[in-house]
A and B are shown apart, each in its own frame.
Chain A
Amino acid sequence: MHNPKNIIQKIWEQHVVHQEEGKPDLLYIDLHLVHEVTSPQAFEGLRLNGRKVRRPELTFATMDHNIPTRQRQVINDPISKKQVDTLQQNCEEFGITLADIHHPDNGIVHVIGPELGLTQPGKTIVCGDSHTSTHGAFGALAFGIGTSEVEHVLATQTLWQAPPKTMNVKVNGKLGTGVTAKDLILAIIGKFGVRFGTGYVIEYTGEAIRGFSMEERMTVCNMSIEGGARAGLISPDETTVEYLRGRKHVPQGEAFEEAAAHWKALATDEGATYDTVVEIDAAEVEPQVTWGTNPGMCIPVTANVPSPDETDKPSEKDEIVRALEYMGLQAGQPISDVKIDHVFIGSCTNSRLSDLRKAAEIIRGKKVNPSVTAIVVPGSFSVKLSAEKEGLDQVFKDAGFEWRDAGCSMCLGMNDDIIPSGERCASTSNRNFEGRQGKGARTHLVSPEMAAAAAIAGHFVDVRKFTAQEVG
């Protein structure tokens, strides 16, 4: 093929509005997702300068970070309430569609975009949220931006962006039984580090990725940012097209077939190159548990907590010592011995229907360990309803899980779902930073299956052996 290109280069070229020497490219933005936390100052900026939203119809808003999950209608915290009300007023004033707290389309911004078919291959998508990389699963160039950039996109529908370097993360072979997309992305970050993707857009390729459902692809792309990459994407294929068919915001009928042909043509050309290529062998990946205070600090569930002596670099030694102290762990201790107090199944990484189904399979007919408090927070209103239709809510409730309403919830604890200081949580979310789930809270990132198994056992267990073993 003449001058083969990767998908990142193709999407970029299609969106350049203007290029000039000494400046980044002026890039057109096709979809701008907005939520309540990172937008109020942007709208205020527009008002102060007498500016309008250039393309309100390319802008879509939801409220998710502050939303209570017990009684979603009542926000007790007056500051949270003000933030939510402010978004409502801003959307009215500037003519932006909002899936508010009562709307059936409401949910976590990165769950509803794909669900509604707003997310489509080839689009440039931004949101004032670093996990915007999730939408890359569809072959969109999707990345998080700050509030000044939110204001810039509202006013101009563009951003000044230097062309990124491109990286191919090639996943060879297939994952073993009981090993999930979450384990894969954790293992990738564990292997290459929390800054390997800085300055890059990643394309995930290889047999394992091709075999993934859209939901599994979203889990992988979601955590690109934890490896430092602003965006991570996957070339569209039949799986992408079939997921999107019939969704609310995609073209229908004949027009859909046309769009689908166009989408598939975006896939990386045979023979295209990247600035960097890294590879990982899927068969080697085991179920992962993070032991420390960033997502790169992860180990297989069969391993022991690492020791500061394993590195010669003083800054890394310090980091391990600090992390062990914060997490209340001993070097050399088997991670599977570590007892937990909480389980959180939710967040834009792992709160979709398939995640809930897989977790439910693990716990069906079993009981949550008496020392564990476990909650399930579906990613959207629609996920919640679908799960209830299948009776998943009953499976969780019978086992002793709390079944909550949709939202970000315990992923960052901006609502009242917070882990108390010193307590330990097995969480399906994406960040185990200090204080993420509450000041002093200890977060261990795992897959939904691993979280479910830990809830029953009261400590981490290898989910591959879990069903065979008697636990109480």
Chain B
Amino acid sequence: MEPLRTLQGLVCPLNRTNVDTDQIIPKQFLKRIERSGFGQFLFYNWRFDDDGNPNPDFPLNQPQYKGASILVAGENFGCGSSREHAPWAIQDFGFKVIIAPSYADIFKNNTVKNGILAIQASDEQVQTIMKKAETEGYSLTINLEEQKVYDNEGFQFQFDIAPYPKEMLLNGWDEIGVTLTYEDKIEQYELTHK
């Protein structure tokens, strides 16, 4: 996993609440046995019409958001199914950071495992960013070490993140590798809990 320390990137707004993982990546694309290549199917049913033509109203299809690496969305982002194909698709499409007022628990866990930073911001901060992102070329800078988000117009805020996911993201750790250094403790537990 690639470490994530600071990032400056274009912001793409998705002004919808309760975006579920069935929308992020519809079921017909869950049949692949690889981890890669899901970006082309991201938000498929919203991005494309029944004939497979891009829907020009959907932000991800608009030229001004091409190359965006920060996705901003409404409350309860990533609810529903546990499919990790959702963060895989988001990442493969080019997003590295998500900003929303709240996330579903499983989805949030899945982002950390894939080196995606899911920032929890207030409703107000999210709405401010949504508005600003209507202007072409609006970008934000994220500093994970300092837990700070800012733009070059003086807008900024601090965000909370638990120490463990922060460390994971900053270092790009292979979590299994880390856990295996606790193997003696696991063995001990197994011996005493037959």
Range of interface residues on chain A?
Answer: 35 or more
A28-B189, A79-B31 known; A434-B45 Cβ under 8 A: yes
User: In the bound complex, do residue A79 and residue B45 qualify as a contact, i.e. CB atoms below 8 Å apart?
Assistant: no
User: In the bound complex, do residue A146 and residue B175 qualify as a contact, i.e. CB atoms below 8 Å apart?
Assistant: no
B179-194 to A contact mask, C-beta < 8 Å, 1/0: 1101101101110010
Interfacial chain A residues near B122, Cβ < 8 Å: none
A146-B83, A318-B17, A434-B22 known; 13 other A-B pairs, CB under 8 Å? A22-B167, A23-B164, A41-B84, A44-B35, A83-B31, A143-B106, A157-B186, A158-B179, A162-B162, A195-B102, A198-B76, A230-B105, A414-B28
User: In the bound complex, do residue B180 and residue A128 qualify as a contact, i.e. CB atoms below 8 Å apart?
Assistant: no
Interfacial chain A residues near B76, Cβ < 8 Å: 194-195, 198, 228
User: In the bound complex, do residue A146 and residue B45 qualify as a contact, i.e. CB atoms below 8 Å apart?
Assistant: no
Measured CB to CB, the closest approach of chain A to B111, in angstroms, equals 9
| Cβ < 8 Å to B, chain A residues 259-289 | none
A37-53 to B contact mask, C-beta < 8 Å, 1/0: 11011001100010100
Chain B residue, CB-CB nearest to A414 = B27
User: In the bound complex, do residue B80 and residue A198 qualify as a contact, i.e. CB atoms below 8 Å apart?
Assistant: no
Interfacial chain B residues near A144, Cβ < 8 Å: 82, 106
Measured CB to CB, the closest approach of chain B to A169, in angstroms, equals 17
Let me know if A156 is at the binding interface, CB within 8 A: yes
User: In the bound complex, do residue B18 and residue A319 qualify as a contact, i.e. CB atoms below 8 Å apart?
Assistant: yes
Interfacial chain A residues near B163, Cβ < 8 Å: 22-23
B150-186 to A contact mask, C-beta < 8 Å, 1/0: 0000000000001110010000001110011011011
Measured CB to CB, the closest approach of chain B to A199, in angstroms, equals 6
Chain B residue, CB-CB nearest to A411 = B27
User: In the bound complex, do residue B30 and residue A37 qualify as a contact, i.e. CB atoms below 8 Å apart?
Assistant: yes
Measured CB to CB, the closest approach of chain B to A83, in angstroms, equals 5
A195-B75, A435-B22 known; A160-B186 Cβ under 8 A: no
Interfacial chain A residues near B23, Cβ < 8 Å: 433-435
| Cβ < 8 Å to A, chain B residues 113-172 | 113-114, 162-164, 167
Interfacial chain B residues near A440, Cβ < 8 Å: 50
A37-B30, A77-B31 known; A230-B22 Cβ under 8 A: no
Let me know if A140 is at the binding interface, CB within 8 A: no
A145-B106, A440-B50 known; A26-B182 Cβ under 8 A: yes
User: In the bound complex, do residue B164 and residue A26 qualify as a contact, i.e. CB atoms below 8 Å apart?
Assistant: no
Chain B residue, CB-CB nearest to A198 = B105
Chain A residue, CB-CB nearest to B33 = A40
> Which of A147-155, A244-252, A359-367, A393-401 is the interface stretch?
A147-155
**CB within 8 Å of A: which residues of B?**
15-18, 20, 22-23, 26-28, 30-35, 45, 50, 74-76, 79-84, 87, 102-106, 109-110, 113-114, 162-164, 167, 174-176, 179-180, 182-183, 185-186, 188-190, 193
Distance, CA A157 to CA B182, complexed state (A): 12
User: In the bound complex, do residue B81 and residue A130 qualify as a contact, i.e. CB atoms below 8 Å apart?
Assistant: yes
Distance, CA A289 to CA B182, complexed state (A): 49
Interfacial chain A residues near B110, Cβ < 8 Å: 146-149
Chain A residue, CB-CB nearest to B166 = A22
Let me know if A86 is at the binding interface, CB within 8 A: yes
Measured CB to CB, the closest approach of chain A to B14, in angstroms, equals 12
A17-B186, A156-B180, A294-B20 known; A130-B30 Cβ under 8 A: no
User: In the bound complex, do residue B182 and residue A38 qualify as a contact, i.e. CB atoms below 8 Å apart?
Assistant: no
Distance, CA A37 to CA B15, complexed state (A): 30
Distance, CA A22 to CA B166, complexed state (A): 11
Chain B residue, CB-CB nearest to A130 = B82
Measured CB to CB, the closest approach of chain A to B149, in angstroms, equals 21
User: In the bound complex, do residue B113 and residue A148 qualify as a contact, i.e. CB atoms below 8 Å apart?
Assistant: yes
Sorted from nearest, which 8 A-B pairs have the closest CB atoms? A148-B113, A40-B33, A146-B84, A146-B110, A144-B82, A147-B84, A79-B31, A130-B82
Let me know if A391 is at the binding interface, CB within 8 A: no
Let me know if A439 is at the binding interface, CB within 8 A: yes
User: In the bound complex, do residue A155 and residue B16 qualify as a contact, i.e. CB atoms below 8 Å apart?
Assistant: no
Interfacial chain A residues near B26, Cβ < 8 Å: 435, 439
Chain B residue, CB-CB nearest to A297 = B18
Let me know if A82 is at the binding interface, CB within 8 A: yes
A83-B31, A149-B113 known; A160-B176 Cβ under 8 A: no
User: In the bound complex, do residue B185 and residue A26 qualify as a contact, i.e. CB atoms below 8 Å apart?
Assistant: yes
Interfacial chain A residues near B182, Cβ < 8 Å: 17-18, 26, 158
Q: Which of A24, A49, A149, A431 has a CB less than 8 Å from the CB of B22?
A: A431
Interfacial chain B residues near A341, Cβ < 8 Å: none
Interfacial chain B residues near A190, Cβ < 8 Å: none
Let me know if A80 is at the binding interface, CB within 8 A: yes
Distance, CA A152 to CA B178, complexed state (A): 10
Distance, CA A86 to CA B33, complexed state (A): 8
User: In the bound complex, do residue B84 and residue A413 qualify as a contact, i.e. CB atoms below 8 Å apart?
Assistant: no
A433-447 to B contact mask, C-beta < 8 Å, 1/0: 111100110000000
Measured CB to CB, the closest approach of chain B to A272, in angstroms, equals 23
Chain B residue, CB-CB nearest to A39 = B33
Measured CB to CB, the closest approach of chain B to A21, in angstroms, equals 9
Would you mind naming 14 contact pairs between A and B with Cβ atoms under 8 Å apart? A37-B30, A37-B31, A83-B31, A146-B82, A146-B109, A148-B110, A195-B18, A199-B105, A230-B105, A316-B17, A318-B16, A414-B28, A414-B31, A433-B80
User: In the bound complex, do residue B176 and residue A49 qualify as a contact, i.e. CB atoms below 8 Å apart?
Assistant: yes
A17-B186, A26-B179, A439-B26 known; A83-B45 Cβ under 8 A: no
Chain A residue, CB-CB nearest to B184 = A18
Measured CB to CB, the closest approach of chain B to A446, in angstroms, equals 19
User: In the bound complex, do residue A51 and residue B84 qualify as a contact, i.e. CB atoms below 8 Å apart?
Assistant: no
Q: Which of B103, B185, B193 has a CB less than 8 Å from the CB of A18?
A: B185
A146-B113, A152-B179 known; A66-B31 Cβ under 8 A: yes
